[in-house]
């Protein structure tokens, strides 16, 4: 199983807009990352889960345009910035299909730490807004990092 963890793109501040939609730069960067992943990796997803927050939904929609998930977009429970990651660790142990989760920090950082080193207090991945981290679960249930694509490296590797 492959799990793609994506942090939402750059969003407006709460003062600019209480719903915190993506900025123009955020939309641009997410599109660049999505296009790169579509063109240069074997990423295929059955579902894209998002938190329901505007910035997460917009980011998920951009990825869905290019990745074309078989089961579309789905609102995921417990994907808010301060949600505890344990529920998703359990859910992921039952899922066989490749999926993407579009979420927030610190939740994504804690979830990835639990999957990779079984300790959510030891973040080993530095997420970037609009970036995606591909994790692979082998037959024994062990997770590993497959690749990382961020807006900051896309221009240099295309």
The predicted-structure confidence for 75-125, as pLDDT tens digits, reads as follows: 999 999 999 999 999 999 999 999 999 999 999 999 999 999 999 999 899
pTM: 0.95
Q: Which long-range contacts (CB under 8 A, 24 or more apart) does 9-17 make?
A: 9/55, 9/58, 9/59, 9/62, 9/129, 9/130, 10/129, 10/130, 11/54, 11/55, 11/129
Q: Is 101 in contact with 49 (CB distance < 8 Å)?
A: yes
The predicted-structure confidence for 47-80, as pLDDT tens digits, reads as follows: 999 999 999 999 999 999 999 999 999 999 999 9
Domains of the chain: 2-157 (3.40.50.1240)
For residue 144, CA distances in Å to 2, 6, 13, 88, 114 come to 10, 16, 34, 17, 12
Other C-beta atoms closer than 10 Å to the C-beta of 124 total: 11
């Amino acid at each position: 199983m492959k799990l793609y963890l994506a942090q939402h793109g750059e969003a407006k501040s709460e003062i600019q807009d209480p719903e915190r939609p993506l900025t123009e730069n955020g939309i641009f960067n997410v599109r660049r990352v999505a296009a790169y992943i579509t063109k240069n990796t074997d990423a295929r997803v059955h579902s894209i889960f998002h938190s329901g927050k505007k910035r997460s939904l917009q980011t998920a929609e951009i990825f869905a345009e290019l990745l074309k998930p078989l089961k579309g977009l789905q609102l995921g429970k417990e994907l808010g910035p301060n949600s505890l990651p344990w529920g998703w660790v359990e859910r992921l142990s039952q899922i066989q299909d490749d999926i993407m989760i579009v979420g927030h920090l610190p939740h994504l950082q804690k979830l990835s730490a639990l999957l990779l080193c079984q300790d959510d207090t030891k973040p080993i991945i530095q997420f970037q807004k609009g970036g995606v981290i591909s994790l692979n679960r082998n037959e024994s249930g062990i997770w590993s990092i497959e690749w990382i694509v961020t807006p900051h490296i896309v221009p240099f590797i295309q």
